[in-house]
Structure 1
Amino acid sequence: MKVLICCESEIILQVTGMALEAAGHQVALEREPHALLPHVQGAAALLVDAGRARQAPALLRDRGFAGRSLLVGEGAQEELTRAAAELTLDGAVASPATDDFAQRFTAAVGARRRVLIVDDSEIVARLLQEELEAKGFEIHYAPDAEKATSIILKRQTRPDLILLDVNMPKVDGGQFCRFVKKNERFRSIKVLFCSGEDKEKVQRLVAECGADGFLSKGELLGKWIAENAG
């Protein structure tokens, strides 16, 4: 696994790097976030200490980093986890000098990904939920943008990915996507439109709203009917 490490503390930087290299990971470590920019492609995780936790994740995500951002440091795991939540990171791994650090790091990176389905059609949402839960994802559901906003505002329920319907009452999918993509707090969330609209129309909307792509409801429902017919 390719891992980026950015720590203000030279001791934590070196100890963390040695522990992960010894476990077979490919490591790039720097004290300054901008020095890691050439290593962003293909990186699955970023480890930062408290001194770099606000600057490094935002800078690297701007340049294409899409992995999990974890807080690393000494102290109790519970304290580090609380601090990571306050910093809107994906998790924390304490005590890099201990023998089991590499195993705990792997577990933190492999924690279940969270998906939020935003769709006023409960049938479509249920089909998506069944398929994604079978693949190990943690699923949350919102029938509209208002409920979706309440979910993403809370760090403990904030998703890694939003599957977003285009046509919804009050606030449509395009408006909600723009809200998510323009908010610094939600920078790490990927957004995919899930729509039955014409593909060219949805592709234009993806470009206009800054979404990360789209899925076709027609293909999804067709697949479900084919698998369950007869």
Structure 2
Amino acid sequence: MDEPASRRRILVVEDEDNIAMALDYVLTREGYEHDRVANGADAMPKIRETRPDLVLLDVMLPEVSGYEICQNIRMDPSLKDTKVLMMTARGSAMERRKGLALGADGFIAKPFELKELREEVRRLLAPADGAGGNV
């Protein structure tokens, strides 16, 4: 059974307020339940507490990097179903490879088109059984 968007929980880990506000706008319009932390050190406690379906994760964060957070998510068996979409202003191929190697499910370069972000979030939250029709 397909869950409505409002039942899908997203955690935004982003230290830049203007980007966080844009993400808040998109996620609210899409009907997702979401929360935000602005500091890398606060991310893992919040992820363990709220068990989001998706973490929108900035690479460059104060205190703990997005790469380290992604790695910590992947090392925690209780978070195996949590999807990770990494975001970075330095969207080089090397950055992308590193993020994917650490277990990210997707990678998006900032500044991003809101349409691109929406599509990526939908792709990552699509039912795993293939009912979404994507092959």
Please report the TM-score for the alignment, with normalisation by the length of structure 1.
0.46
Q: For 2:36 and 2:76, how far apart are their aligned partners in 1? A: 21
Kept in 1, the 8 Å contact 2:71–2:102? The answer is yes
Match of 2:20 in 1: 125
* 2:13 partner amino acid: V
Q: For 2:103 and 2:67, how far apart are their aligned partners in 1? A: 9
* 1:130 partner amino acid: Y
Q: Which has the larger radius of gyration?
A: 1
Match of 1:135 in 2: 30
Q: For 1:207 and 1:191, how far apart are their aligned partners in 2? A: 10
* 2:86 partner amino acid: F
Q: What SS does the aligned partner of 2:113 have?
A: helix
Q: Per-residue deviation at 1:219?
A: 2.3
Q: Count matched residues.
A: 114
Root-mean-square deviation (CA), in Å? 1.9
Q: For 1:119 and 1:190, how far apart are their aligned partners in 2? A: 16
Q: For 1:129 and 1:183, how far apart are their aligned partners in 2? A: 27
Matching of residues 65-76 of structure 1 within 5 Å: none
Say which of 176, 197, 214 aligns to 2:90. 197
Q: Per-residue deviation at 1:148?
A: 1.6
Matching of residues 205-216 of structure 1 within 5 Å: 205-216=98-109
Q: Per-residue deviation at 1:214?
A: 1.0
Say which of 59, 69, 73 aligns to 1:166. 59
Match of 2:39 in 1: 144
Q: Which has the higher contact order (CA 8 A, sep 6+)?
A: 2
Q: For 1:167 and 1:143, how far apart are their aligned partners in 2? A: 11
Q: 5+ residue gaps in structure 1?
A: 2-43, 45-108, 224-230
Q: For 1:125 and 1:220, how far apart are their aligned partners in 2? A: 14
Range with bigger deviation, 145-154 or 183-192: 145-154
Q: What SS does the aligned partner of 1:115 have?
A: strand
Q: What SS does the aligned partner of 2:7 have?
A: coil
Q: For 2:39 and 2:33, how far apart are their aligned partners in 1? A: 19
Matching of residues 1-230 of structure 1 within 5 Å: 109-110=3-4, 112-154=7-49, 157-220=50-113
